[in-house]
Amino acid sequence: MTTARKSNLLLSHLSPKSHLAAFLLILLGISLTLLPLSAQQPPRPQRKGDKTAGPSVPTTSGEVARGKYIVEQVAMCPQCHTPRNADGTLDHAHELEGAAEFFQPPHPDQNWPLKAPRIGGDPPANDQDMIKLLTTGIWTDGKTLRLPMMPFRMSEADAKAVLAYLKSVKQQH
């Protein structure tokens, strides 16, 4: 093999590589430019716990007070969603933090939930999904939750107030 052929070979070997490097750099540049754009894209399909899936619903202090009344005096969410002390009283230091299901089915039921999940502080779904649950009884998977969770049919205003109160709950750890 002559030296000329060798360097020729070397060149033809090198140049596609450097083209590739340049191409990759350009690609990187494009994706970096597009990155901020993709952040403004329409919300992703809703799923449980996705807080970015819709605008959050603004709340007022009046709603928080009304929501507290509905949660504590009418719908009794803490009876299931707040854990209990050894003597059976509600452990308010862990308000709405989720609890082992206190109520048992009258007949053996494999599908009975073992837990009422945490709902206070940072609700488990986005605002739209929480309001949908409280006004229609339908959860993020398109189905009703299992009993003893009640398929509530609140008015939109009541559901918003409940949500406002749930968000306001401060949990002590």
Q: Please, which residue, 19 or 146, has the CB nearer to ligand HEC?
A: 146
Q: How far apart, in whole angstroms, are the C-alpha atoms of residue 6 and residue 12?
A: 10
- The DSSP result for 117-142, as a single string, is ---SSS-SS-HHHHHHHHHHSB-TTS
Least distance between ligand HEC and beta carbon 170 (Å) = 17
Can you tell me which of 6, 19, 92, 146 binds ligand HEC, judged by CB under 6 A? 146
Distance between CA atoms of residues 6 and 35, nearest Å: 44
Question: Least distance (Å) from ligand HEC to the CB of residue 44?
Answer: 19
- Interaction of residue 148 with ligand HEC, rule CB under 6 A: yes
Say whether residue 121 binds ligand HEC (CB under 6 A).
no
Please list, residue by residue across 79-105, b when 16 or more beta carbons sit within 10 angstroms of its beta carbon and e when fewer do: ebbbbeeeeeebeeebbbbbbeeeeee
Residues 6 or more apart from 83 whose CB is under 8 A from it?
90, 91, 94, 97, 98, 99, 100
Judged by CB under 6 A, the residue of 68, 69, 117, 132 near ligand HEC is 117
- φ and ψ at residue 3, rounded to 5 degrees: -65, -40
Q: Taking CB under 6 A as the rule, which mask of x and - marks residues 65-104 in contact with ligand HEC?
A: ------x---xxx-xxx-------------------x-x-
138 binds ligand HEC (CB under 6 A): no
The binding site for ligand HEC (CB under 6 A) comprises: 71, 75-77, 79-81, 101, 103, 113, 116-117, 119, 124, 133, 145-146, 148-150, 152, 162
